[in-house]
């Protein structure tokens, strides 16, 4: 498939791959394939930005190339580098030929010039090790290029990307310019840890991808066949949305909601209670301070009318305040994971 024929077709093709979209996202994917223009997806971690590129590749039958960005990344890891080991090996193999080349050289200067004239042999495509950006341009088959978490890379890498994003070409000084035979579908993702350059944004279509609505997230959980009953899945989605409203260092992602649903299904849970959720909350909350906040909030998220014991701030034996965390339930020892089946 070279391009989607309609917004509806784009949404349905992704849904077949298990990726559910809303109208805005389906429209953006449709435009990506029709305009062949890069798309920049910005938004919090865990909303499905990376997964979209994977699903698009599967839906269109294209190979996925991924450039994972990180702090301090240099252009060699993104564009290309010379295979010095291979160059050295060829030099050793051709040592005799090099000797013949300079055998009758009258002086060192002339010998160096003769060898210098052969440099192009060792700086050719034979010794060029392509990295994701160059591979996307040189590929004979159509590809989806994912440039993941571009906000983690240094601004210097953004500058390197401009030629690729604007003209779908890569310049190699020793050889020339490579231009894409078949333009790749390019998706860039950003978690908004820093602002991106205006020049980069100008070359891309743009969409801010936020957490989905409760209805959409329930549809996603339902589509993954987690094994959790419908009513519990709906309640769990609302609880996760409540956790996201807390000031957590890392909010639960959609994939973690799915993992939590599967966890509870494996345990045979048939009722969502604060004790059961407290025992499994680490599936979606990954930092110690976040866990403490989540444990305090879970009883009210399960039952807004629940009476929660206040932390004991009295003095014990004259040694100051007690720092024991508040108890989530007064009857934690009697729970049985919601009467596991």
Tokens of 272: 């969502």
Percent of all residues in the chain with a pLDDT value above 90, rounded to a whole number: 58
Structure pTM? 0.75
Verify that 144 and 203 share a domain, yes or no: yes
Verify that 169 and 296 share a domain, yes or no: no
Establish if 25 belongs to a structural domain: yes
Q: Name the band, by pLDDT with cuts 50, 70 and 90, for residue 130.
A: confident
What would the mean pLDDT of 316-332 be, rounded to a whole number?
Answer: 42
State the total domains in the chain: 3
Verify that 268 and 298 share a domain, yes or no: yes
Q: Name the band, by pLDDT with cuts 50, 70 and 90, for residue 53.
A: very high
pLDDT reading at 3 higher than 80:
yes
Residue 175 vs residue 286, higher pLDDT: 286
Establish if 325 belongs to a structural domain: no
Q: What's the pLDDT tens digit per position in 143-153?
A: 999 999 999 99
Q: What is the mean pLDDT of the chain?
A: 83
The CATH number of whichever domain residue 64 belongs to comes to 3.40.50.300
Domain that includes residue 267, residue range: 214-308
Verify that 65 and 181 share a domain, yes or no: yes
Verify that 50 and 184 share a domain, yes or no: yes
Verify that 232 and 299 share a domain, yes or no: yes
Which residues, 6+ apart, have CB-to-CB distance to 135 below 8 Å? 65, 143
Please report the pLDDT score of residue 308 as a whole number.
52
Verify that 54 and 192 share a domain, yes or no: yes
Verify that 242 and 276 share a domain, yes or no: yes
Q: Name the band, by pLDDT with cuts 50, 70 and 90, for residue 263.
A: very high
Establish if 192 belongs to a structural domain: yes
Q: What is the DSSP string of 69-129?
A: --TT--HHHHSEEE-HHHHHHHHHHTHHHHHHHHTT-SSHHHHHHHHHTTHHHHSSGGGEE
pLDDT reading at 242 higher than 50:
yes
Verify that 84 and 202 share a domain, yes or no: no
Element housing 172 (H / E): strand 169-172
Burial class (CB in 10 A: 0-12, 13-18, 19+), 302: buried
Verify that 39 and 59 share a domain, yes or no: yes
Verify that 71 and 86 share a domain, yes or no: no
């Amino acid at each position: 498939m070279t391009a989607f024929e309609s917004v509806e077709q784009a949404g349905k093709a992704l849904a077949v791959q298990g990726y559910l979209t809303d109208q805005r996202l389906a429209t953006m994917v449709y435009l990506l394939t029709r305009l062949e223009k890069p798309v920049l997806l910005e938004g919090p971690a865990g909303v499905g930005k990376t997964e979209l590129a994977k699903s698009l590749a599967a839906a269109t039958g294209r190979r996925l190339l991924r450039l994972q960005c990180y702090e301090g990344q240099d252009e060699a890891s993104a564009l290309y580098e010379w295979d010095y080991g291979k160059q050295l090996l060829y030099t050793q193999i051709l040592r005799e030929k090099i000797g013949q080349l300079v055998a009758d050289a009258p002086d060192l200067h002339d010998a160096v010039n003769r060898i210098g004239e052969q440099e192009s042999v060792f700086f050719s495509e034979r010794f060029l090790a392509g990295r994701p950006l160059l591979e996307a341009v040189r590929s004979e088959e159509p590809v989806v290029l994912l440039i993941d978490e571009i906000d983690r890379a240094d601004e210097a890498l953004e500058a390197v990307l401009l030629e690729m994003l604007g003209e779908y070409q890569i310049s190699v000084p020793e050889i020339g310019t490579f231009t894409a035979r078949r333009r790749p579908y390019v998706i860039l993702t950003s978690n908004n840890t820093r602002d991106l350059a205006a020049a980069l944004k100008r070359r891309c279509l743009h969409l801010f991808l936020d957490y989905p609505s409760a209805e959409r997230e329930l549809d996603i959980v339902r589509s993954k066949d987690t094994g959790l009953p419908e009513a519990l899945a709906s309640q769990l989605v609302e609880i996760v949305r409540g956790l996201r409203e807390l000031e957590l260092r890392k909010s639960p992602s959609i994939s973690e909601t799915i993992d939590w649903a599967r966890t509870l299904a494996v345990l045979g849970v048939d009722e969502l209670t604060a004790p059961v959720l407290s025992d499994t909350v680490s599936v979606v909350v990954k930092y110690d301070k976040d866990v403490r906040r989540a444990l305090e909030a879970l009883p009210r998220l399960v039952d807004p009318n629940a009476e929660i014991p206040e932390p004991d701030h009295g003095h014990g034996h004259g040694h100051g305040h007690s720092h024991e965390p508040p108890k989530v339930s007064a009857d934690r020892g009697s729970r049985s994971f919601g009467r596991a089946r």
